[in-house]
């Protein structure tokens, strides 16, 4: 049955004619050739905002396991035990092929703080920590083993309740800020040994680090000059060896080898101290004898677990966050599956089993250079809270601040597939507008949320879902100009259309380069902000789509987002010619490329959006 028509009047006809003339005049006056972002900036005089900033680089070097043991207030041999027994247990339960468990400076420092608070440590000799002491206080190794058991129990409960998702709120910036702040604690804790100072007052509580620095500065006249000389010579040796000698050695030798300068420094300083009798004549602390053989099994003291439980929770969270983040990165790089839940159980079994030996908590090794490109508020709060308050409290403050900022910026992420509104230059949500035109071989995707660390996984899943829907639809295919004119009706799955478009069938015998005919446009207008993990997600999406033979464009990118791309060197990964100021530019270039290779779009925009006049640089592919 025909739908009833609305009576028209001369006034209505005149208004419609005026609106049509105005619309047509607008397109005629404003029409320009589609162009990429580089051409758009040059034509309209875009000026980059002058803003100071730079890259903060945190350089991490390998520290001897003996030094980690001293940092955790244990005997040096404990560092070697920690690198043996837990690793042997992990290989039976872990799913990561590249995770290297062992000592970690931040975890060793947190362990040392708990040991200093709970255990009896003779003030004159750190190497006596395993000897019997005050009967009212446990020994350092007892506190450490109880702490290891507590960490294992916490990680086991995290695995039981599937709490690995909580680590998504520990962003890369939070972990970087916390790690850097903890590194300051590590550095300050070594000043006393670096200058050979003894008898300094032990401070505790919030702000103790500042008081320790003040005491060290005030006691500089009492520094041991021999310790200062040995420390300075060792630092110079390590720096020159790694920065200047090793590169030359690697170029000259085949296969490429590097000199273990840490081991060289240990050997040379040991010989030097033994020759001059530095321990007795100059009061220089030495490691002395290291026991041989393996230690006996012993059960941790359960009564100590409640006392070290807050420390165990903090250490467990840090270990899980660092372990999962690095393991996922390596699994993605080498293309294998990582079971995050199983990793929690593996870490818990490793810690529980290791608690029966003289060890301290382990973590995955950070044997890489960490570069924090975006030093944002989360990094600053994590850093200053860790430095000015304490390690455990700083981590808690940083986590709550990250959650607070997430809540402030949180939106319910929605994604949309866009299409061209009929007879206009606008692209709108296909769920909201029914009379829209889908261009063959072109998909436009928009994610309405800031692309931040807490929703990058959601973004990738939404984009994958959109791509799958597009792939199942007839719009995924393109039409060659030599095809027959046999009509075929279709509907796009999940979308609504009042007037289905009559399309030509796909020429089955034609083989063309798909990267020139299928185009996926990401509408970046919904990205009000983006962080480092968001940029990494875009790189991953771009790479995955290119592997599927699809050209990727970015349109309507806001200036702050583009500035973030500049800081992260994103344009070195994705050429600027793949960026367009509007969706019209992106789709116009895509259709032009299709036309140039013999493909036509039967649903093209009417006369005032011709693409035959496009003269612009094509995106790289």
Domain, as residue range, for 477: 413-609
- Backbone φ and ψ for 524, nearest 5 degrees, come out as -90, 10
Question: How high is the pLDDT of residue 565?
Answer: 92
Close Cβ partners of 590 (under 8 Å, ≥ 6 residues apart) = 439, 441, 442, 519, 521, 551, 553
Residue 129 has pLDDT above 70, yes or no: no
Tell me, yes or no, whether 436 and 567 share the same domain: yes
Question: In 3-state terms, what secondary structure has residue 206?
Answer: coil
579 and 563 Cβ atoms separated by less than 8 Å? no
Tell me, yes or no, whether 377 and 510 share the same domain: no
DSSP 8-state secondary structure symbol assigned to residue 498: S
Residue 595 has pLDDT above 70, yes or no: yes
Closest CA to 225 of 286, 284, 265: 284
Specify the DSSP element, H or E, that contains 351.
helix 340-354
Q: What is the mean pLDDT of residues 262-281?
A: 88
Residue 514 has pLDDT above 50, yes or no: no
Question: How high is the pLDDT of residue 350?
Answer: 94
Distance CA 56, CA 379 (A): 11
Q: What is the mean pLDDT of residues 489-493?
A: 34
Question: How big is the CA angle at 189 (ends 183 and 191), to the nearest 5 degrees?
Answer: 110
Question: How high is the pLDDT of residue 539?
Answer: 93
Question: How high is the pLDDT of residue 479?
Answer: 52
Tell me, yes or no, whether 87 and 178 share the same domain: yes
Q: What is the mean pLDDT of residues 253-281?
A: 84
Question: How high is the pLDDT of residue 399?
Answer: 72
Q: Averaging pLDDT over each range in 438-442, 608-612, 617-621, which range is the top one?
A: 438-442
Distance CA 491, CA 53 (A): 51
The residue among 542 and 6 whose pLDDT is bigger is: 542
Question: In 3-state terms, what secondary structure has residue 183?
Answer: helix
86 and 351 Cβ atoms separated by less than 8 Å? yes
Beta bridge partners of 448: 414
Residue 16 has pLDDT above 70, yes or no: no
The enclosing domain of 437 has a CATH number of 3.30.750.24
Token look-up 């296969």 returns 255
Q: Where are the alpha helices (DSSP H) in 83-224?
A: 85-93, 105-118, 140-160, 172-194, 208-218
What percentage of the chain exceeds 70 in pLDDT? 70
Q: Averaging pLDDT over each range in 55-69, 151-165, 447-461, 601-615, which range is the top one?
A: 151-165
The residue among 290 and 315 whose pLDDT is bigger is: 315
Distance CA 460, CA 455 (A): 9
Tell me, yes or no, whether 427 and 401 share the same domain: no
Distance CA 588, CA 612 (A): 10
- pLDDT-derived band at 379 (thresholds 50, 70, 90) equals low
The per-residue pLDDT for range 294-348, each reduced to its tens digit, is: 888 888 988 899 999 999 998 998 888 888 877 877 787 777 888 888 999 999 9
Tell me, yes or no, whether 331 and 419 share the same domain: no
The per-residue pLDDT for range 395-419, each reduced to its tens digit, is: 677 777 777 766 655 555 778 888 8
Q: What is the mean pLDDT of residues 113-120?
A: 83
Tell me, yes or no, whether 485 and 578 share the same domain: yes
Closest CA to 76 of 137, 140, 146: 140
> Last residue of a domain, which of 407, 422, 442?
407
Sign of CA pseudo-dihedral 360, 361, 362, 368: negative
Specify the DSSP element, H or E, that contains 55.
none
> Domain count of the chain?
2
Q: Averaging pLDDT over each range in 94-98, 142-146, 251-255, 502-506, which range is the top one?
A: 142-146
Least confident of 152-166, 366-380, 402-416: 366-380
Question: How high is the pLDDT of residue 17?
Answer: 52
Q: What is the mean pLDDT of residues 434-446?
A: 82
- Give a yes or no: residue 619 inside a domain: no
Q: What is the mean pLDDT of residues 465-470?
A: 90
Residue 355 has pLDDT above 80, yes or no: yes
pTM assigned to the model: 0.55
- pLDDT-derived band at 30 (thresholds 50, 70, 90) equals very low
- Give a yes or no: residue 34 inside a domain: no
Tell me, yes or no, whether 106 and 208 share the same domain: yes
Q: Averaging pLDDT over each range in 20-34, 68-82, 107-121, 555-569, which range is the top one?
A: 555-569
Question: In 3-state terms, what secondary structure has residue 102?
Answer: strand
Residue 208 has pLDDT above 60, yes or no: yes
- Give a yes or no: residue 2 inside a domain: no
> Last residue of a domain, which of 407, 428, 450?
407
Average pLDDT, the chain: 74
Tell me, yes or no, whether 510 and 527 share the same domain: yes
> Last residue of a domain, which of 407, 427, 451?
407
- Give a yes or no: residue 120 inside a domain: yes
Question: How high is the pLDDT of residue 601?
Answer: 54
What percentage of the chain exceeds 90 in pLDDT? 18
Tell me, yes or no, whether 174 and 310 share the same domain: yes
Question: How high is the pLDDT of residue 493?
Answer: 33
Tell me, yes or no, whether 344 and 374 share the same domain: yes
What would you report as the CA-atom Rg of the chain, rounded to the nearest whole angstrom?
32
Distance CA 427, CA 588 (A): 13
Residue 461 has pLDDT above 50, yes or no: yes
Token look-up 């042997």 returns 88
Closest CA to 77 of 147, 134, 140, 135: 140
Closest CA to 552 of 543, 562, 560, 561: 543
Question: How high is the pLDDT of residue 609?
Answer: 41
Least confident of 146-150, 364-368, 584-588: 364-368
Tell me, yes or no, whether 313 and 376 share the same domain: yes
Q: What is the mean pLDDT of residues 601-607?
A: 47
Specify the DSSP element, H or E, that contains 345.
helix 340-354
Q: What is the mean pLDDT of residues 187-216?
A: 83
Close Cβ partners of 382 (under 8 Å, ≥ 6 residues apart) = 173, 174, 175, 176, 177, 178, 181, 394, 395, 397, 398, 401, 402
Question: In 3-state terms, what secondary structure has residue 416?
Answer: strand
Tell me, yes or no, whether 439 and 370 share the same domain: no
- Give a yes or no: residue 167 inside a domain: yes
Token look-up 């240990």 returns 266
Specify the DSSP element, H or E, that contains 555.
strand 551-555
Residue 487 has pLDDT above 60, yes or no: no
Least confident of 3-7, 29-33, 105-109, 428-432: 3-7
Indicate the pairing of strand 414-421 with strand 427-429: antiparallel
Close Cβ partners of 21 (under 8 Å, ≥ 6 residues apart) = none
Residue 481 has pLDDT above 80, yes or no: no
- Give a yes or no: residue 203 inside a domain: yes
Kindly state the greatest CA–CA separation across the chain: 112
Sign of CA pseudo-dihedral 391, 392, 397, 400: positive
- Give a yes or no: residue 617 inside a domain: no
Q: What is the mean pLDDT of residues 252-261?
A: 75
Indicate the pairing of strand 370-372 with strand 414-421: unpaired
Distance CA 469, CA 476 (A): 9
- Give a yes or no: residue 104 inside a domain: yes
The per-residue pLDDT for range 515-537, each reduced to its tens digit, is: 457 889 999 998 988 988 999 99
Distance CA 554, CA 483 (A): 31
Indicate the pairing of strand 519-523 with strand 442-448: parallel
- pLDDT-derived band at 422 (thresholds 50, 70, 90) equals confident
Q: What is the mean pLDDT of residues 248-277?
A: 83
């Amino acid at each position: 049955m025909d739908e009833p028509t609305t009576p028209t009047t001369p006034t209505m006809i005149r208004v419609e004619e005026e609106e049509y003339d105005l619309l047509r005049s607008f397109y005629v006056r404003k029409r320009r050739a589609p162009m990429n972002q580089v051409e758009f900036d040059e034509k309209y005089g875009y000026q980059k905002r002058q803003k100071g900033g730079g890259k903060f680089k945190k350089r991490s070097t390998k520290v001897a396991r003996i030094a980690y043991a001293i940092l955790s207030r244990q005997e040096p041999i404990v560092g070697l035990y920690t690198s043996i027994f837990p690793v042997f247990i992990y290989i039976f339960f872990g799913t990561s092929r590249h995770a290297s468990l062992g000592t970690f400076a931040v975890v060793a420092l947190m362990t040392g703080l708990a040991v200093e608070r709970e255990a009896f440590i003779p003030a004159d000799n750190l190497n006596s920590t395993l000897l019997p002491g005050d009967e009212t206080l446990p020994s350092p190794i007892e506190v450490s083993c109880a702490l290891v058991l507590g960490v294992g129990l916490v990680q086991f409960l995290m695995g039981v309740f599937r709490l690995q998702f909580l680590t998504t709120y520990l962003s890369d910036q939070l972990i970087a800020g916390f790690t850097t702040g903890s590194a300051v604690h590590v550095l300050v804790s070594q000043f006393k040994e670096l200058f050979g100072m003894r008898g300094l007052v032990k401070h505790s509580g919030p702000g103790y680090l500042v008081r320790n620095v003040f005491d060290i500065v005030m006691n500089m006249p009492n520094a041991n000059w021999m310790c200062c000389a040995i420390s300075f010579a060792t630092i110079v040796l390590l720096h020159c060896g790694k920065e200047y000698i090793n590169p030359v050695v690697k170029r000259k030798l085949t296969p490429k080898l590097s000199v273990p300068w840490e081991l060289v420094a240990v050997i040379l300083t040991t010989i030097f101290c033994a020759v001059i009798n530095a321990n007795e004549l100059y009061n220089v602390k030495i490691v002395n004898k290291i026991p041989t053989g393996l230690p006996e099994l012993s059960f941790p003291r359960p009564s100590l677990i409640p006392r070290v439980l807050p420390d165990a929770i903090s250490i467990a969270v840090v270990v899980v966050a660092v372990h999962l983040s690095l393991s996922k990165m390596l699994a993605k790089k080498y293309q294998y599956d990582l079971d995050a839940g199983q990793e929690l159980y593996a870490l818990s079994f490793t810690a529980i089993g290791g608690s029966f030996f003289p060890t301290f908590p382990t973590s995955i090794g950070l044997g890489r250079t960490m570069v924090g490109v975006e030093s944002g508020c989360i990094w600053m709060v994590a850093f200053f809270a860790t430095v000015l308050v304490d390690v455990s409290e700083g981590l808690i403050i940083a986590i709550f601040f990250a959650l607070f900022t997430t809540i402030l910026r949180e939106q319910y992420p929605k994604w949309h597939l866009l299409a061209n509104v009929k007879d206009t230059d606008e692209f709108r949500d296909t769920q909201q507008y029914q009379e829209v035109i889908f261009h063959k071989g072109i998909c436009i995707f928009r994610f309405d949320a800031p692309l931040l660390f807490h929703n990058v996984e959601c973004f990738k899943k939404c984009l994958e879902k959109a791509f799958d829907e597009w792939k199942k639809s007839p719009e995924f295919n393109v039409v060659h100009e030599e095809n027959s004119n046999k009509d075929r009706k279709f509907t796009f799955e999940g979308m609504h259309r009042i007037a289905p478009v009559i399309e030509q069938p796909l020429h089955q015998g034609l083989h063309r380069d798909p990267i020139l005919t299928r185009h996926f446009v990401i509408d970046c207008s919904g990205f009000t902000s983006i962080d480092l993990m968001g940029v990494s997600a875009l790189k991953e999406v771009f790479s995955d789509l290119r592997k599927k033979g699809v050209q990727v464009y970015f349109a309507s990118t806001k200036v702050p987002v583009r500035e973030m791309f500049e800081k992260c060197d994103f344009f070195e990964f994705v050429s600027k010619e793949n960026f367009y100021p509007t969706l019209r530019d992106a789709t116009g270039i895509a259709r032009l490329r299709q036309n140039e290779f013999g493909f036509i779009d039967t649903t093209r925009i009417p006369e005032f959006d011709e693409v035959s006049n496009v003269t612009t640089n094509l995106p790289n592919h």
